[in-house]
Amino acid sequence: MVRDMLMYKTNVWPDWCPGCGNYGILTSVIKALAELDADPSKTVIVSGIGCSGKIPHFINVNGVHTLHGRAIPFATGIKLSNPELTVIVHGGDGDLLGIGAGHFVALGRRNIDITVILHDNKVYGLTKGQASPTLPYGVRTKALNYPNIHYNVNPVALALTSGYTFVARGYAFNGEHLKELIKKAIVHRGSAFIDVLQPCVTFNNIYTAEYYRSRIHDLQKAGWNPVVERLDEAVEKLQGAIKFSLEEERIPIGIFYVNPHVPLFEERLREVLKEYPRVNPANSPIERNNAPVLSSDIFEELFSDFII
């Protein structure tokens, strides 16, 4: 409990709408970090733009609130330049699967040790409720003039087929379950993805807490073992996970797929760049005026007025 409290920023108060699913996600992330005993100085939360993008402001670890759709490239740079850091990306469905979809796929293909948490509210919350890429065809939420004419992206199926080696789905108001998923995703070595079903009480009058309450069911309680224990069962496990991801009437939550056998991008990079990551780029001197200097010293010189 005390560790949970230390993870909350004390000078900023979350300003999402009362009842928003983002509060559930925030609480679960904070509890997961506290229970993992995460070192705040070695943990970074990277977000894009959206209601979801505000989350780094409310957690007492390093945070970067970046550009719409660009949280994953920022996170990739952070992780590769300092592999010691635990890096977590938060983004909305527009952020990660609309403008940022290419980066989302690229992270799965690379299998970099980063956790991605999708705030899946099926609308563009921050910009007043337009249809997001996860809103199904034909659904008319309250801000739309007519039913959605686009077909939707299935985030779990996309993550599975992009190569993410840990893929799960949680529900914002099932806090204990979501916290456990987040802990497992962070501990997993490789690109991890959690699709979090997140009610937006202001703009999404269809995918509400009531809607989810009667439909979600737990894959692990139903007996699904998502872990690829032996390499030769990877395809079979992936096929099973994809099949579950296509279920719509009853919505599966839990872990769909875990494959610990795929080498990390960092390991494959080391095969061609022999010094990496023995030489941690963020802590290695670079040259300035023919003399070695640390990038952190340059950063301090440039931004000392802004560092608090």
Chain residues in the site for ligand TPP (CB under 6 A):
49-52, 68, 92-95, 119, 121, 123-127, 132
Shortest distance, position 62 Cβ to ligand TPP, whole Å: 21
The residue written with tokens 């921050």 in the block is 126
16 binds, among ligand TPP, ligand SF4, Mg ion, none (CB under 5 to 8 A by kind): ligand SF4
Nearest residue to 277 (alpha-carbon basis) of 165, 113, 116: 113
198 binds Mg ion (CB under 5 A): no
* Residue 203 partner contact from ligand TPP, ligand SF4, Mg ion, none using kind-dependent CB cut-offs of 5 to 8 Å: ligand SF4
Q: How far is CA 235 from CA 172, 231, 238, 247, in A?
A: 30, 9, 5, 19
Binding mask 85-124 for Mg ion (x = CB under 5 A): -------xx---------------------------x---
d(CA 194, CA 50) in angstroms, rounded, equals 18
Provide, rounded to whole angstroms, the least separation between the CB of residue 49 and ligand TPP. 4
Q: In this structure, what is the dihedral angle of CA atoms 130, 132, 137, 140, given to the nearest 10 degrees?
A: -30
Choose among Mg ion, ligand TPP, ligand SF4, none what residue 68 binds, the Cβ cut-off being 5 to 8 Å by kind.
ligand TPP
- If binding is defined by CB under 5 A, does position 195 make contact with Mg ion? no
Measured CA to CA, the distance from residue 196 to residue 122 in angstroms comes to 11
Angle at 286 between CA 284 and CA 287, to 5 degrees: 150
Closest approach of ligand SF4 to the CB of residue 156, in Å = 20
The span of 13-21, 84-92, 182-190, 256-264 binding Mg ion (CB under 5 A) equals: 84-92
- If we measure between CA atoms, which residue out of 53, 46, 50, 102 comes closest to residue 74? 46
* Phi, psi dihedrals of residue 32, rounded to the nearest 5°: -60, -45
Structure tokens at 62: 């390093």
Closest-approach residue to Mg ion (CB): 92
Using the minimum distance from each CB to ligand SF4, give the nearer residue, 53 or 63: 53
Binding site residues, Mg ion, CB under 5 A: 92-93, 121, 132
